[in-house]
Amino acid sequence: MAVVPYTEEDVKLLARLMRAEAEGDGQLGMLMVGNTGINRVRGNCIDFKTIDTIRKMVFQSPGGFEATQKGYFYQRAREQDIRLARRVIKGLRYHPATNSLWFFMPSGSCPAQWFGQWNTGRYKSHCFYSPTRSDCPDVY
């Protein structure tokens, strides 16, 4: 059962986003990016109060994803990417992105905080950041 509403086009959009943002980190890295996106749709908090669909999450601006804002969100969704997107839409979560709303790729180590949010861990090139339970209970 899905944790957010979606269409087949949404699945492909999410798959494309996951690929564009984290293909270099492999399938698990892509799943974590997907977790972060789905958490933004679920969250209804902080910067994501108006983000209630996958499409709005993918194209959020400002504050959205680098892939859609800097032009490398052009690759089609492959079947393997679509399968991964379906997993996170069903609510599967992967640490350290379990409750994350943000991630980024630093040139060095992960800062303890990023825009006031605490680091929950790193997977390959990406650092993940989660709000507190009191700031955003719907992602917990």
Could you tell me the residue ranges of all domains in the chain?
8-139
Give the pLDDT confidence score for residue 74 in this predicted structure: 87
pLDDT at 71 over 90: no
Q: What is the pLDDT of residue 115?
A: 86
C-alpha distances out from residue 75 to 6, 18, 59, 70, 124, Å:
20, 11, 15, 13, 22
> Residue 95 has what pLDDT?
97
What is the pTM for the complete model shown? Answer: 0.96
User: Model confidence over 35-68: pLDDT tens digits?
Assistant: 999 999 999 999 999 999 999 999 999 888 989 9
pLDDT digit string, tens, across residues 76-114? 999 999 999 999 999 999 999 999 999 999 999 999 999
The letter for the amino acid at 104 is F
Cα dihedral sign, 36-37-38-41: positive
Helix (H) or strand (E) holding 102: strand 102-104
